[in-house]
């Protein structure tokens, strides 16, 4: 009990300076979240779920100072993509810097919008609550209670272009709590792009409901800043024949914990979650994924690749839970780390828990160094060692990047990777 008390004390300190919004359509969900959160307290290093990643800097009262990235030679990712841009500066929506949020097939509102956003009310905090069992995720409940901004997006048809959430970080001490809700109606299709470091510290939740036959694509980059910290949760529920594809590229950052909690509620749905992470030096990156199959003939794929050097740390906790009755499930999970030196670490905890008897589930986890034989082969054809090494690193990441369906977006991500690699060549 002493441990729970300590977690609740930490929570009391953390939220002492935060305001719980009392009005508006989101208020009941927020009050409920606070009640749930108060019972849990904040996560601590002693929690099994935080065994490999110390949450201290994510739960501290103040965000640890983080300088924004100054380097600006490289244009931002997605710059050349035709998209609807919504800009946040240190976690606050910047209407002046954003495009007019009007687009055929899509309704866009702010979390703080007045009136009753009925569809969002049925989603806000709902998937987050479902995602609290069997594993507690207090930082997500904290987000639901205290989120200061966010975007509610509802796709009713095929969106004409991607909605691009751009997160700028300008203040050393910004502490952003963003909560987005996304509803993809039956047979509708939406692509969400996210990029930028957002703040010195970011707590982001995205709840995604994909209705029958709906398609949701999500491509995210978390890059540039070296000192930022972030914890993100994606809670997704898929109805029959729905599709979700999420890809995240993470480069730099002191600490990043990305959780994806996916639930198959209807038959014949498909969900792919992929990530490529590259870290050099003080970099701790954690992918924590929980996929629940509660319907028949659904396909899930988890593909996570990490490239680590100079003491960077990679974590993967991935679980596939196949409930009784979820027959003909096709589950796949791979997590791999490429260690470019002897100082880096990869900590992986792949899990399968299966209660149905007619399923195919496979998982694998590896860590290793660059293949010296392949390196020599490339060099012997005239490729300088660094070029050869970059080519092999990109080849290693290719399986994750291949999860991006749109080839233009995939190419954009590949170029980011190449640029990062060339900046981080050698020691």
Partner 1 sequence: MLDIKNLHVKLEEEDKIILKGVNLKIGSGEVHAIMGPNGSGKSTLSYVLSGKGGYEVTDGSATLEGAELLEMEPEERAAAGLFLAFQYPVEIPGVGNMTFLRTAVNAQRKARGEEELSAGDFLKIVRAKAKTLKIDAEMMKRPVNVGFSGGEKKRNEILQMAMLEPKMCILDETDSGLDVDAMKLVSEGVNALRDAGRSFLVITHYQRLLDHIKPDFVHIMADGRIIKTGGPELAMEVEQNGYADILAEVV
Write out the residues near partner 1 by the rule CB under 8 A. Answer: 372-374, 376-385, 387-388, 391-392, 394-399
Structure tokens at 317: 């906790």
Distance CA 90, CA 175 (A): 7
Smallest gap, in angstroms, from Cβ of residue 362 to partner 1?
18
Smallest gap, in angstroms, from Cβ of residue 24 to partner 1?
49
Smallest gap, in angstroms, from Cβ of residue 339 to partner 1?
17
Smallest gap, in angstroms, from Cβ of residue 162 to partner 1?
27
Q: How many CB atoms are located within 10 Å of the residue 157 CB?
A: 13
How many helices (H) does the chain have, and how many strands (E)? 9, 19
Q: Which is nearer to partner 1, 178 or 388 (CB)?
A: 388
Q: Which is nearer to partner 1, 170 or 385 (CB)?
A: 385
Smallest gap, in angstroms, from Cβ of residue 387 to partner 1?
6
The 360-368 sheet, strands edge to edge: 92-94, 84-89, 163-168, 189-195, 215-222, 243-251, 270-280, 299-309, 330-339, 360-368
Smallest gap, in angstroms, from Cβ of residue 388 to partner 1?
8
Q: Which is nearer to partner 1, 336 or 344 (CB)?
A: 336
Closest CA to 250 of 258, 242, 259: 258
Q: Which is nearer to partner 1, 22 or 381 (CB)?
A: 381
Smallest gap, in angstroms, from Cβ of residue 383 to partner 1?
5
Smallest gap, in angstroms, from Cβ of residue 373 to partner 1?
5
SS3 34: helix
Max Cα–Cα distance, the chain, nearest Å: 68
Structure tokens at 82: 């035709």
Q: Which is nearer to partner 1, 76 or 394 (CB)?
A: 394
Structure tokens at 146: 């205290």
Q: Which is nearer to partner 1, 381 or 427 (CB)?
A: 381
Distance CA 212, CA 144 (A): 26
Smallest gap, in angstroms, from Cβ of residue 386 to partner 1?
10
Rg (CA), the chain: 21
Torsion of CA 69, 257, 285, 91, to 10 degrees: -10
The 175-184 sheet, strands edge to edge: 106-110, 151-155, 175-184, 201-210, 229-238, 255-264, 284-293, 313-322, 345-354
Q: Which is nearer to partner 1, 54 or 418 (CB)?
A: 418
Beta strands in 227-342 (DSSP E): 229-238, 243-251, 255-264, 270-280, 284-293, 299-309, 313-322, 330-339
Structure tokens at 26: 């989101």
SS3 82: coil
Q: Which is nearer to partner 1, 274 or 388 (CB)?
A: 388
Q: Which is nearer to partner 1, 81 or 398 (CB)?
A: 398
Smallest gap, in angstroms, from Cβ of residue 276 to partner 1?
12
Taken in order 370, 373, 379, 383, the sign of the CA dihedral is negative
Q: Which is nearer to partner 1, 193 or 308 (CB)?
A: 308
Taking the alpha carbons at both ends of the chain, their separation in whole angstroms is 47
278 within 8 A of 421, measured Cβ to Cβ? yes
């Amino acid at each position: 009990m002493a441990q729970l008390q300590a977690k609740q004390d930490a929570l009391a300190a953390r939220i002492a300076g935060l305001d719980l919004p009392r009005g508006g359509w989101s208020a009941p969900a927020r009050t409920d979240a606070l009640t749930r959160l108060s019972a849990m307290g904040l996560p601590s290093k002693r929690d099994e779920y935080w065994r490999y990643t110390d949450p201290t800097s994510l739960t501290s009262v103040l965000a640890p100072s983080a300088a924004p990235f100054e380097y600006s030679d490289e244009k931002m990712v997605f710059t050349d993509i035709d998209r609807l841009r919504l800009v946040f500066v240190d976690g606050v929506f910047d209407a002046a810097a954003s495009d007019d949020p009007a687009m055929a097939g899509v309704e866009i509102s702010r979390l703080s919008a007045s009136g009753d956003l009925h569809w969002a009310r049925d989603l806000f905090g709902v998937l987050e609550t479902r995602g609290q069992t069997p594993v507690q995720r207090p930082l997500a409940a904290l987000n639901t209670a205290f989120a200061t901004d966010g975007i509610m997006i509802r796709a009713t048809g095929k969106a004409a272009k991607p909605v691009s959430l751009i997160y700028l970080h300008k203040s050393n001490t910004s502490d952003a709590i963003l909560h987005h809700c996304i509803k993809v109606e039956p047979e509708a299709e939406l692509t969400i792009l996210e990029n930028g470091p957002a703040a010195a510290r970011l707590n982001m939740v995205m709840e995604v409901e994909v209705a029958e036959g709906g398609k949701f694509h999500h491509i995210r980059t978390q890059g540039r800043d070296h000192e930022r910290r972030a914890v993100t949760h994606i809670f997704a529920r898929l109805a029959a024949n729905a599709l979700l594809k999420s890809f995240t590229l993470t480069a730099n950052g002191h600490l990043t914990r990305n959780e994806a909690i996916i639930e198959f509620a209807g038959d014949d749905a498909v969900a792919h979650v992929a990530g490529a992470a590259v870290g050099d030096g003080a970099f701790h990156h954690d992918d924590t994924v929980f996929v629940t199959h509660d319907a028949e003939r659904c396909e899930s794929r988890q593909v996570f690749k990490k490239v680590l050097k100079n003491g960077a740390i990679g974590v993967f906790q991935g679980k596939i839970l196949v409930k009784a009755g979820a027959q003909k499930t096709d589950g796949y999970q791979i997590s791999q780390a490429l260690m470019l030196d002897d100082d880096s670490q990869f900590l992986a905890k792949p899990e399968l828990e299966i209660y149905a008897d007619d399923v195919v589930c496979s998982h694998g986890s590896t860590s290793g160094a660059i293949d010296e034989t392949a390196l020599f082969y490339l060099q012997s054809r005239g490729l300088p060692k660094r070029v050869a090494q970059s080519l092999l690193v990109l080849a290693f990441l290719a399986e994750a990047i291949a999860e991006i369906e749109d080839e233009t977006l995939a190419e954009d991500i590949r170029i980011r990777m190449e640029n990062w690699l060339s900046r981080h060549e050698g020691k």
